[in-house]
């Protein structure tokens, strides 16, 4: 069975894939200093709790934090006796190679989202992922990542206001009832919420105009449904796009690679 690991700048998610469905999803915060033994203590406690102590034969990792890959490799080797596939490394094949400026290191999460979205929806897509950053990945007709947009993440923007301005509290994102806030929290929520609605709409319109072909907009990430409530920003929402993309890349390497 496959253990798929999606390591973002904020959260690390482990999912066990039995070839047809995910058996469980485990989430922890990302810490570069977490050791292989610490990962295993956490992992084994939870799988035992859920009663899914299965035999892991394969591990695939996507990490936007380069430093965590070492400990995750040790974890895979020590506890499952396998050499993980690491997205973005030369020995991990992609269904379509990215077309970007030479020397550019595309975030592995964006490559994985691209593969997952192309598998689900075909080509000519914009994938909007609301993670630590809000990213827009442009997927060409043949499934290649051909560039995109990186904007600050929603929670990052809220946190930045709180950190930089002495009188501004920490605020959780939510959809305000109106635009004109009548207290501080409402003013901040309005700025970030409606600001992001505008940001997403403007960027998607400009991407489509620049690409010159009709494109579907796919959203993913924890905050996507919240933004969809407000406006028709997306054609499709896909909860587990990154995890799905990891299974697609794993299968592609099984069929075409040396692993």
Ligand X SMILES: CC(C)(CO)[C@@H](O)C(=O)NCCC(=O)O
Q: Which residues are annotated as a binding site?
A: 6-13, 107-110, 129, 132, 184
Q: Which of 84, 88, 95, 131 binds ligand X (CB under 6 A)?
A: 131
Stretch of residues binding ligand ATP (CB under 6 A), selected from 3-11, 31-39, 55-63, 210-218: 3-11
Kind of pairing between the strands at 133-139 and 145-152: antiparallel
Residues 43-72 that bind ligand X (CB under 6 A): 64
Question: What is the number of the residue whose Cβ is closest to ligand ATP?
Answer: 8
Using alpha carbons, select from 183, 184, 188, 160 the residue that is nearest to residue 172. 188
Q: How far is the CB of 234 from K ion (least distance, A)?
A: 16
| CA 111/CA 92 separation, integer angstroms | 11
Instruction: Output DSSP code: residue 135.
Output: E
Residues 6-35 that bind ligand X (CB under 6 A): 8-9
Residue 221 binds to ligand ATP (criterion: CB under 6 A): yes
| CA 74/CA 215 separation, integer angstroms | 41
* Residue 50, token pair as written in the block: 């859920």
Stretch of residues binding ligand ATP (CB under 6 A), selected from 7-15, 77-85, 199-207, 230-238: 7-15
The residue among 6 and 58 lying less far from ligand X, judged by its C-beta, is 6
| 176 neighbors 192 (Cβ within 8 angstroms) | no
Q: Which of 53, 101, 102, 172 binds ligand ATP (CB under 6 A)?
A: 172
CA distances from 160 to 153, 163, 175, 188 (A): 10, 5, 19, 11
By CB under 5 A, name the binding residues for K ion. 8, 131
| CA 15/CA 128 separation, integer angstroms | 21
The contacts of residue 134 (CB under 8 Å, 6+ apart) are: 128, 150, 151, 152, 153, 154, 196, 199, 200
Residue ranges of the binding site for substrate = 107-110, 184
Using alpha carbons, select from 149, 170, 168 the residue that is nearest to residue 159. 170
- Helices 108-121, 241-256: crossing angle, 10 deg rounding: 90
Q: Which of 58, 109, 124, 137 is catalytic?
A: 109
Residue 176 binds to ligand ATP (criterion: CB under 6 A): no
101 catalytic? Reply is no
**Nearest 5 degrees, angle CA 191-CA 170-CA 188?**
15
The residue among 150 and 231 lying less far from ligand X, judged by its C-beta, is 150
Q: How far is the CB of 204 from ligand X (least distance, A)?
A: 17
* Residue 122, token pair as written in the block: 């075909």
Stretch of residues binding ligand X (CB under 6 A), selected from 38-46, 107-115, 117-125, 201-209: 107-115
Residue 106 binds to ligand X (criterion: CB under 6 A): yes
Residue 9 binds to ligand ATP (criterion: CB under 6 A): yes
SS3 147: strand
User: Which chain residues interact with ligand ATP by CB under 6 A?
Assistant: 8-11, 130-132, 172-173, 221-223, 226
Residues marked active site are found at 109
User: Which chain residues interact with ligand X by CB under 6 A?
Assistant: 8-9, 64, 106-107, 109-110, 131-133, 135, 150
């Amino acid at each position: 069975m496959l253990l798929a690991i999606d390591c973002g700048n904020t959260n690390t998610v482990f999912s066990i894939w039995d070839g047809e469905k995910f058996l469980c999803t485990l989430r922890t915060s990302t810490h570069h200093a977490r050791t292989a033994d610490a990962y295993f203590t956490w992992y084994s406690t939870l799988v035992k709790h859920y009663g899914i102590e299965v035999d892991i034969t394969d591990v695939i990792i996507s990490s936007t934090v380069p430093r965590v890959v070492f400990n995750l490799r040790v974890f895979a080797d020590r506890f499952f006796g396998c050499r993980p596939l690491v997205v973005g490394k030369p020995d991990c094949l992609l269904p379509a190679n990215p077309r970007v400026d030479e020397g550019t290191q595309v975030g592995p999460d964006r490559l994985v989202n691209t593969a997952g979205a192309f598998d689900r929806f075909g080509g000519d897509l914009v994938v909007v992922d609301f993670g630590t950053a809000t990213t827009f990945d442009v997927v060409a007709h043949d499934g290649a990542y051909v560039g995109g947009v990186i904007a600050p993440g929603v929670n990052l923007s809220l946190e930045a206001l709180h950190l930089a301005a002495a009188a501004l509290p920490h605020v959780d994102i939510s959809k305000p009832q109106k635009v004109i806030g009548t207290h501080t929290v409402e003013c901040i929520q309005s700025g970030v919420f409606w600001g992001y609605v505008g940001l997403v709409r403007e960027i998607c319109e400009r991407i489509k105009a620049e690409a010159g072909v009709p494109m579907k907009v796919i959203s993913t990430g924890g905050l996507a449904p919240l933004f969809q409530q407000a406006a028709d920003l997306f054609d499709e929402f896909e909860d587990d796009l990154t995890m799905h993309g990891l299974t697609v890349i794993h299968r592609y390497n099984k069929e075409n690679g040396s692993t």
